[in-house]
Amino acid sequence: MSDDWEVKICCMGAGYVGGPTMAVIAKMAPKTRVCVVDLSQKQIDAWNSSKLPIYEPGLPDIVEECRGRNLFFSTDIDNEIKKADIIFISVNTPTKVSGIGAGRAANIKNCELCARKIAAVADTDKIVVEKSTVPVRTAEAIRRVLKGNKGNKFQVLSNPEFLAEGTAVRDLLKPDRVLIGGQQTPEGLKAAETLVNVYAQWVPRERVLTTNLWSSELSKLVANAFLAQRVSSINSISALCEETGADVSEISRAVGMDDRIGKRFLYASIGFGGSCFQKDILNLVYLCETYGLEECAQYWNHVILMNNYQKKRFTEKMVAKMFNTATGKKIAIYGYAFKKDTGDVRETPSMFVVRDLLEEGANIHVYDPQVTRDDMWLEMDYTCGINASNTPRLEESVTTATDAYSAADGAHAIAVLTEWDEFKELDYEKIYSTMSKPAFIFDGRNILDHAKLREIGFEVHAIGKPDPDAFNDL
């Protein structure tokens, strides 16, 4: 260990996980030197500026407090690997798009490249920590790669992240649990205890769980699968509610008051998005298929199928209620990020609604307080294959508005697709006065006061809510 610091940490990957995690470690463990490294000079420059590359409430203050003291961002990867006692691998593990397991299996190429870099550069013993979400038994692959370095010993640990975007800082400061998996050998247990001691500077010891490597790796996939399963479960019930006159919010409350079930993740919506849920479930599906557990694979795959159905169902209902056509109609999209308090658009449900409305010939005006037009198009191209070169009049068909009011001016309909708090506070009487009539609101997050909107004059349709015009016995 260093004479100047109790421990030195290098984190490979300056993204949504690596940046916030290392910033909080630096804040809460001031005698630990933390350096986040990345190949992208642009990304590192952003972390070293006043405008961070990701939006996360509370993060700028922590970075400002620690940067230059015990938190550093650099592209000098080789030097920082040599300095470090603990090296975190926190790089993207996207779903494979080609080859064996395409569309389901995780591509761990970036993890392997990190391991190869460590093996090539390290000149002392290291603890290597998987922070990326990886398939179970990835640590064995990393360990085999590290054996290419004949002069030093490496211990590989699994320390999966359980962060929710928008609350990542809070999740890091007061985690439900910190999970650390390692080999159950004297050397593996010692390495795990070294990492435990870093977290123990602010996390109660009883919340730091130690397991074997494989339990830790699989726990992250299972945690996200269970959360996504709850979303798809309540969304399946939302469709039934709309047909029967039941109210999905009342169902959620009644079911959630059962202590055995709990109320978290029982809010019906247009579906889940983000970089984790779908990717991790597909990874779990592929693992089950790989081990011949076909029924298990089908079970978890239906969580994805239900999510896809919910997004498609929402758009189809929009078109049906607008007299079976959206062609030439202006539609305001309120929110493009996959959830509030983040600018992340990966797998966002909004994108699929926009895609389907484009196919219907709608003129779409998108307003989101954190999402840039460039980010919107990058994800649309990557996930849906839609770009200006293969979609005529794409740029003209989609406008990015600077505020919610201009997005709705002259619109036939508003679709609320992200639960930003500001959408609850808008002057809907003013908005109604500027819209084409009849003026529709489709609430994909159930955050608005539907009764008040109807009093103003809107025709309101919401997820899992009965249409008062369709039932006379509500």
Q: Which pair of structure tokens corresponds to residue 339?
A: 């959830």
Closest to 118 (Cα-Cα) out of 151, 69, 70: 151
Do 416 and 388 touch, CB atoms closer than 8 A? Answer: no
Closest to 139 (Cα-Cα) out of 124, 160, 122: 160
Computed from CA positions of residues 48, 51, 55, 61, in that sequence, does the dihedral angle turn out positive or negative?
positive
What's the burial of 435, exposed, middle or buried (CB within 10 Å: 0-12/13-18/19+)?
buried
Q: Which pair of structure tokens corresponds to residue 173?
A: 């400061």
The strand pair at 413-416 and 330-334 is best described as parallel
Residue type at position 473 = D
Helix (H) or strand (E) holding 84: none
What's the burial of 386, exposed, middle or buried (CB within 10 Å: 0-12/13-18/19+)?
buried
CB proximity list for 393: less than 8 A, separation 6 or greater: none
Q: Which pair of structure tokens corresponds to residue 80?
A: 């920082």
**Separation between Cα atoms, residue 321 and residue 313, nearest integer Å:** 12
Residue 128, beta-bridge partner list: 87, 156
**Separation between Cα atoms, residue 91 and residue 89, nearest integer Å:** 6
Q: Which pair of structure tokens corresponds to residue 377?
A: 């198009």
Q: Which pair of structure tokens corresponds to residue 95?
A: 């779903």
Residue with token string 């770009």: 387
Closest to 272 (Cα-Cα) out of 383, 347, 185: 347
Catalytic positions: 276
Q: What is the CA radius of gyration of the chain?
A: 24
Residue 7: φ, ψ to 5° = -155, 150
